[in-house]
A and B are shown apart, each in its own frame.
Chain A
Amino acid sequence: MQKQQNIIAKTSIHCSLNELKLVRTFIANQLNQIHVCDNDVDMIVLSVDEICANLIKHALNLKPDETIEITLIHENGGIRVNILDHGISFNPVNYYEKSIQKLIHEKKKGGLGLMLVNKIMDKIDYQIEETYNVCSMYKRVTLC
């Protein structure tokens, strides 16, 4: 089946955790404009926040000159979000999830972000190229 894709919006942010709030507001505003239901908006906003926070902290090491590009696409009754960075490659598809019980026992604060994204999104792919990486996530949504 041929993909029906319509780019909704693009933005780019600097590599700073203070930019996360801007990303969340941007994604929510764009999805509200095309009448995506609130719960789906919240879940997509959270997933994008999680991926961007991971990139900022780990792949880009909080380097202020680095940027992350985010593209929102309306595709076959769902939303695709492509997140492009030029940092250290990391493939969350191959990420080994520890159990929550193990994280509690080890008193870990991290490890829940990708768990959330994997539960929320219907599909997540990671494309590693020579000079950039793209995390592409897709979720079917309901319009209200």
Chain B
Amino acid sequence: MDITTSKSEDYLILEISGDLDASSSMLLDSAITQAIQEKETNIIVNCKNLSYISSAGLGVFMSYIQDFKDNNIFFSLCDLSEKVRNVFNILGLEKLIPIYNSEADAKAAKHNR
């Protein structure tokens, strides 16, 4: 799995590609920790090139939900394949982590908040 970080307007974009499993989830964990430490307040994880996710990946996202609330951080995922989105849906995590069809939709949702 690879993570590419970039800035777009006021948003930190984390683009993840490949397989997010127990062998790679610490990379994502480090990237999100770093974003919080650097006081990013708008974070979008673009998953268009994410081909697989297991509970290790879900767990990383889940473990920050409380921090995002406590620090008023806008955090969302976008552009998930149907296969990856299904894994979120199994446990109902799509109701706890905002998921949008595109980066533009995620930014619009933040703008309209």
Interface set of A (CB-CB < 8 Å, partner B): 17-18, 20-21, 24, 39, 42, 46, 49-50, 53, 56-57, 100, 103-105, 107-113, 115-116, 119-120
Contact = CB atoms under 8 A, between A and B. Distances in A.
Interface in B52-75: 52, 54-56, 58-60, 62-67
Interface stretch (B3-11, B42-50, B82-90, B102-110): B82-90
13 contacts: A17-B22, A21-B21, A24-B52, A49-B22, A100-B62, A100-B92, A104-B63, A109-B56, A110-B55, A112-B58, A112-B91, A113-B54, A119-B90
A136 B87 CA distance: 22
Given A24-B21, A42-B83, 15 more contacts: A17-B21, A17-B23, A21-B19, A21-B21, A24-B52, A46-B54, A49-B21, A104-B62, A104-B63, A104-B66, A107-B63, A107-B64, A112-B58, A115-B91, A119-B90
Nearest to A110: B59
A138 to B, nearest CB: 18
Leading 8 A-B pairs by shortest Cβ distance: A17-B23, A109-B59, A112-B55, A113-B55, A53-B22, A109-B63, A104-B65, A107-B63
A21 B54 contact: no
A107 B66 contact: yes
Contacts of A120: 90
Contacts of B67: 107
What bracket does the count of chain B residues touching chain A fall in? Answer: 20 to 34
Interface of B: 19, 21-23, 25, 29, 52, 54-56, 58-60, 62-67, 83, 86-87, 90-93, 96
Nearest to A108: B63
**Chain A at the B interface: SS class:** helix
A109 B23 contact: no
